[in-house]
């Protein structure tokens, strides 16, 4: 994450004289060093000398816009920076913007404070002047106030940075479609042009035959090497090594195709398996584990979202997987959702070392596919869905608690996760369904709804959050209000 950088712009004006501006620069450098060594800050902060003219601000913002590794801009007014000089630069801003309202000194020096001190440390009103112009220009932005060494303040910045990294990568994401989406299914379809306008995703179709060519070109030695890697990561719980070797070959061919095309995510569709002997299972699982986004049944939206959430959460504990709400446990007071898929759940969420097994699959009309079977770990997580509402894209997040102490399910031949959605299964499910949330989602332990809210705000898409304080009544009202905000 340290490869991504954020430009730290400190605003001032020439009025104060050189000594004051030297002090501002010195403080900003100390703060930048603090940010860069704080555990809460995942990326690199680069500070410029304080900006005192419209031209300097314009040049700084242009440099942020054009730097491919600059994920966003952080602004702070140590002194007073008249905001008309920000209009030209902010009008050209093309990166996520964070306005921090902080102060170099934590405490007021009661015994020594004088007007020089007051004039040097006036972000309390300097940042209000800046807040006005960003509000007046209706600039997409985040505002975080607090002391710059405070852990909560830093954590909020860290969460925003991760969203900005997601946005940067989203804008250059290419998604491979193998086939279309599953015939007649609505929620996995959508407007790819709108997705590219809002999120930057280039969603491209290729015939499966193009990938089959790559799979066929994989040598026996490469296949053997990949299969050996499987035996390190997974427990080989099958006699059918040929089935496992076939998945290894599919993975290698797919990855070669993904790399050559610069794809970060892909989907399959069990209705489109011409020339494949098995539905890709273990192949997709292991590709997800290495960071690729994946969606089943032609769901390119969930594939892209899986990729972005994996990139946003790099370096954090937890895992991230494509997921599907599968079946309910309605025991009173202990209601839960069992999430799984035909095969393709990412091993990054496994509680224990997954087992490779081979079982018949009643769908897709192919040979029994090898897959990694495991239980997902316990802990706090979120599920995220992105749907196309016709007039806009809508993101829905539900806070969930994954259950680790779970009954054995000896006959279940796939990886699965068991969770209690907040605030309850009844309220969560009713709200999710009212919002049109998909059965496909991304489950992640590494991020919170706050990360995703930041991301949605940067992208300019609707955001809905189902959490421990949600009621169906209030959620309905929010949906109704949102029709006025987003529906036109
Ligand atoms: Mn599905």
What are the residues facing 336 on neighbouring strands?
329
* Per-position DSSP letters for 97-121, written without gaps between them: EEEEE--S-SS--TTT--HHHHHHS
Contact between 105 and 39 (Cβ < 8 Å): no
Residues 400-451: tens digit of each pLDDT: 999 999 999 999 999 999 999 999 999 999 999 999 999 999 999 999 999 9
* Cα dist from 202 to 205, 218, 269, 459, whole Å: 10, 27, 19, 15
Provide the pairing of β-strand 336-340 with 416-421: antiparallel
Gap from CA of 323 to ligand 1 centroid (Å):
8
Residues 340, 298: Cα–Cα separation, whole Å: 17
- Chain Cα centroid distance, residue 176: 18
Gap from CA of 270 to ligand 1 centroid (Å):
10
Average pLDDT over every residue of 85-101: 98
Average pLDDT over every residue of 30-56: 98
Gap from CA of 78 to ligand 1 centroid (Å):
52
Gap from CA of 230 to ligand 1 centroid (Å):
25
What is the predicted pLDDT for the residue at 364? 74
Gap from CA of 291 to ligand 1 centroid (Å):
20
Average pLDDT over every residue of 103-120: 96
Residues 170-204: tens digit of each pLDDT: 999 999 999 999 999 999 999 999 999 999 999 99
Gap from CA of 432 to ligand 1 centroid (Å):
17
Q: What 3-state DSSP class applies to 187? A: coil
Which of 252-261, 306-315, 361-370 is predicted with the least confidence, judged by mean pLDDT? 361-370
Give the count of beta carbons closer than 10 Å to the beta carbon of residue 110: 6
Gap from CA of 66 to ligand 1 centroid (Å):
39
Residues 267, 298: Cα–Cα separation, whole Å: 5
Going along the chain from its start, the domains and CATH numbers come out as: 5-170 (3.40.50.10940), 174-486 (no CATH)
Contact between 177 and 203 (Cβ < 8 Å): yes
Gap from CA of 388 to ligand 1 centroid (Å):
17
Longest dimension (CA), the chain: 82
Contact between 422 and 467 (Cβ < 8 Å): yes
Token pair of 21 as six digits: 């501006």
Gap from CA of 321 to ligand 1 centroid (Å):
13
Gap from CA of 154 to ligand 1 centroid (Å):
38
Gap from CA of 164 to ligand 1 centroid (Å):
29
Gap from CA of 248 to ligand 1 centroid (Å):
22
Average pLDDT over every residue of 225-232: 97
Residues 212, 254: Cα–Cα separation, whole Å: 8
- Residue 229 has φ and ψ, to the nearest 5°, of -60, -40
What is the predicted pLDDT for the residue at 363? 81
Provide the pairing of β-strand 235-236 with 202-206: unpaired
Q: By C-alpha distance, which of 389, 475, 48, 453 is closest to 187?
A: 389
Q: Which residues of 61-98 are buried (b: 16+ CB within 10 A; e: fewer)?
A: beebeeeeebbbbbbbbbbbbbbebbeebbeebebbbb
Residue 343 scores a pLDDT above 90:
yes
Contact between 309 and 323 (Cβ < 8 Å): no
Residues 338, 418: Cα–Cα separation, whole Å: 5
The phi-psi region of residue 380 (left if phi > 0; otherwise alpha if psi is between -120 and 50; otherwise beta) is: beta
Tell me the average pLDDT of the chain: 97
What is the predicted pLDDT for the residue at 337? 98
Residue with tokens 């709200």: 431
- Residue 64 has φ and ψ, to the nearest 5°, of -65, -45
What is the predicted pLDDT for the residue at 487? 81
Q: By C-alpha distance, which of 393, 383, 64, 389 is closest to 196?
A: 393
Q: By C-alpha distance, which of 429, 420, 427 is closest to 402?
A: 420
Q: What 3-state DSSP class applies to 444? A: strand
Gap from CA of 341 to ligand 1 centroid (Å):
6
Percent of the chain with pLDDT over 90: 97
Residues 375, 73: Cα–Cα separation, whole Å: 41
Percent of the chain with pLDDT over 70: 100
- Angle of CA points 167, 170, 173, to nearest 5°: 160
Instruction: Provide the pLDDT confidence category of residue 121 given band limits of 50, 70 and 90.
Output: very high
Global pTM value? 0.97
Give the count of beta carbons closer than 10 Å to the beta carbon of residue 259: 10
Neighbouring C-alpha atoms within 13 Å toward the C-beta of 187: 17
Token pair of 356 as six digits: 């490779």
Instruction: Provide the pLDDT confidence category of residue 160 given band limits of 50, 70 and 90.
Output: very high
Provide the pairing of β-strand 355-358 with 235-236: parallel
């Amino acid at each position: 994450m340290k490869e991504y950088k954020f430009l730290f712009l400190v605003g001032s004006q020439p009025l104060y004289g050189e000594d004051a501006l030297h002090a501002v620069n010195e403080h900003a450098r100390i703060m930048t060093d603090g940010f860069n060594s704080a555990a809460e800050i995942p990326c690199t902060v680069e500070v410029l000398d304080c900006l005192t003219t419209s031209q300097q601000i314009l040049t700084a913002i242009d440099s942020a816009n054009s730097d491919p590794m600059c994920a966003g801009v952080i602004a702070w007014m140590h002194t007073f920076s008249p905001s008309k000089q920000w209009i030209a630069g902010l009008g050209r801003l093309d990166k996520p913007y964070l306005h921090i309202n902080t102060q170099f000194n934590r405490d007021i020096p009661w015994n020594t404070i004088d007007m020089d001190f007051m004039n040097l440390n006036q972000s309390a009103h300097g940042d209000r002047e800046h807040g006005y112009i960003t509000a007046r220009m209706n600039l997409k932005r985040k505002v975080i106030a607090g002391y710059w060494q405070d852990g909560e303040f830093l954590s909020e910045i860290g969460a925003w940075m991760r969203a900005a990294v997601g946005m940067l990568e989203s804008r250059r994401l290419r998604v491979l479609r193998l086939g279309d989406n599953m015939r007649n299914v609505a929620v996995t379809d959508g407007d790819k042009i709108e997705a590219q306008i809002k999120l930057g995703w280039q969603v491209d179709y290729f015939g499966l035959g193009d990938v089959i060519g790559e799979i066929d070109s994989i040598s026996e030695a490469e296949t053997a090497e990949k299969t050996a890697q499987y035996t390190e990561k997974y427990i080989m719980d099958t006699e059918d090594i040929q089935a496992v070797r076939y998945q290894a070959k599919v993975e290698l061919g797919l990855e070669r195709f993904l790399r050559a095309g610069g794809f970060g995510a892909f989907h399959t569709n069990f209705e489109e398996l011409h020339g494949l002997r098995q539905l890709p299972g273990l192949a997709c699982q292991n590709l997800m584990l290495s960071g690729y986004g994946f969606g089943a049944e032609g769901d390119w939206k969930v594939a892209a979202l899986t990729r972005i959430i994996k990139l946003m959460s790099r370096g954090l504990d937890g895992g991230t997987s494509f997921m599907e709400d599968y079946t309910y446990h309605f025991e009173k007071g202990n209601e839960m959702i069992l999430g799984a898929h035909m095969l393709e759940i990412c091993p990054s969420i496994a509680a224990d070392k997954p087992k490779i097994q081979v079982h018949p699959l009643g769908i897709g009309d192919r040979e029994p596919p090898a897959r990694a079977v495991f239980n997902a770990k316990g802990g706090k997580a979120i599920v995220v869905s992105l749907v196309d509402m016709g007039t806009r894209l809508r993101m829905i997040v539900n806070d969930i608690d994954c259950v680790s102490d779970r009954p054995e399910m000896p006959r279940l031949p796939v990886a699965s996760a068991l969770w209690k959605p907040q605030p309850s299964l009844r309220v969560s499910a009713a709200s999710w369904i009212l919002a049109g949330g998909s059965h496909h989602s991304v489950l992640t332990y590494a991020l919170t709804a706050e990360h995703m809210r930041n991301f949605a705000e940067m992208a300019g898409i609707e955001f809905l959050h189902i959490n421990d304080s949600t009621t169906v009544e209030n959620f309905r009202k929010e949906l109704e209000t949102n029709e006025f905000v987003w529906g036109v």
